[in-house]
Amino acid sequence: MEQTEFQRQYEHSRILIERRLERAFPGGGLQEAMRYSLLAGGKRIRPVLTMQFCRAAGGTEAAALDVGCGVEMLHTYSLIHDDLPCMDNDDLRRGKPTSHKVFGECIATLAGDALQAAAFETVLTAPGPWPADASAPMQAAALLAAAAGEKGMCGGQYLDTMGDGQPHTLEELTEINDKKTGALLRAACMMGVAAAAGERPVDSACMEAARDYATALGLAFQIRDDILDATSTTEVLGKPVGSDAANAKTTYVTLLGAEACEQRVLAYTERAKASLARGVWPGGTEFLTALADSLAVRGM
């Protein structure tokens, strides 16, 4: 896929997502705090993946819009909580003061909690009808719940928090990052396939292919994050850099070195793309392949 066509499709999906999220929480009070973080920017990678996997599996982007926005709400909840003083204690996110810096720690915590609840409500009430499988929203919500809980993001954060200040092996670090980063990416991709199955029958291998694509993509994504934390600037990334080194935190860079990390990013990216060959994709996988390539070089 040509880069200009990839960018056009990405921007089309992103605009649909932004317009939907802008309508989500129009009120004041707690909704204002929820909206502040939800609309703070970002590339919307996860909901774009949901919509594009739905399209690739033979569905439509529109069918997966609310499902993808639910993923983004849950992702935003996790960022608010990660930034709290009891976690990473970060002051900047996406170039703006973090939620607890603007609203205070209590309101920030509640905003995250409310966004998590709203994520499941948004997925479960995604507009149908679902002629091929009426259980599609429930399947998507179940995937999201698994990604959010102790076997996914919370479990990864627990391992990371309990290991603060302690060196990790490569296997331990990979387990932490596969839960913290990979779990929600897996959910986003597989939920897109579930949404497509709600519209029309889908090749069963597509779900496994989506899972494996996201697993490899998540590892490539996290390694690139570690590289950027060591080499980029706060102005470029919109969040603090160098904190891993300052906190003596084990990263892929400290374990392997920057050059070996670059090689692993490329290897995991190729693995992600290759996994797509196992499914039958009426809508094609060119965008998904181009997205993996784009993420591999982000920030460079």
SS3 92: strand
Q: Give pLDDT, residue 239.
A: 56
Q: Is 96 helix (H, G, I), strand (E, B) or coil?
A: strand
pLDDT tens digit string along 111-134? 999 999 999 999 999 998 899 999
**Looking at residue 23, what is its pLDDT?**
96
Reported as a single tens digit per residue, the pLDDT across 167-182 is 899 999 999 999 999 9
Q: Give how far the C-alpha of residue 237 lies from the chain's centroid of Cα atoms, to the nearest Å.
A: 17
Scan for tokens 């948004």, then name that residue.
122
The DSSP bridge partners found for residue 96 are 93
- Checking 29-34 for CB contacts under 8 A at 24+ apart, the result is 30/107, 30/110, 30/111, 30/114, 33/99, 33/102, 33/103, 33/107, 33/108, 33/110, 33/111, 34/111, 34/114, 34/115, 34/118
For 131, counting Cβ atoms within 10 Å of its Cβ (0-12 exposed, 13-18 middle, 19+ buried), the class is exposed
Q: Which residues are within 8 A (CB) of 4 and not within 5 positions of it... i.e. 6 or more apart?
A: none
Show the low-confidence residues of the chain (pLDDT under 50): none
**Cα separation, 299 vs 94, whole angstroms:** 14
Round to whole Å and give the CA distance between 186 and 147: 8
Omega prior to 129 cis, within 30 of 0? yes
How far apart (Å, rounded) are the C-alpha atoms in residues 158 and 151? Answer: 10
The single residue listed with the structure tokens 């970060």 is: 90
89: left (phi over 0), alpha (psi -120 to 50) or beta: left
The length of the chain, given as a count of residues: 300
Rounded-to-integer distance, Cα 171 and Cα 176, Å: 9
Q: What is the pLDDT of residues 279-299, one digit of tens each?
A: 999 999 999 999 999 999 987
Tokens 């070195």 -> residue: 257
Distance, CA of 25 to CA of 99 (rounded, Å): 16
- Report the pLDDT value the prediction gives residue 238, as an integer from 0 to 100: 61
Do 35 and 167 meet the contact criterion of CB atoms below 8 Å apart? no
Task: Give the residues across from 97 on adjacent strands.
Answer: 92
- The pTM of the full predicted model, rounded to 2 decimals, is 0.94
| Residue spans of alpha helices (H) in 178-237 | 183-199, 205-231, 234-237
Task: Show the domains of the chain with their CATH numbers.
Answer: 3-296 (1.10.600.10)
Both tokens of 32, joined, read 């204002």
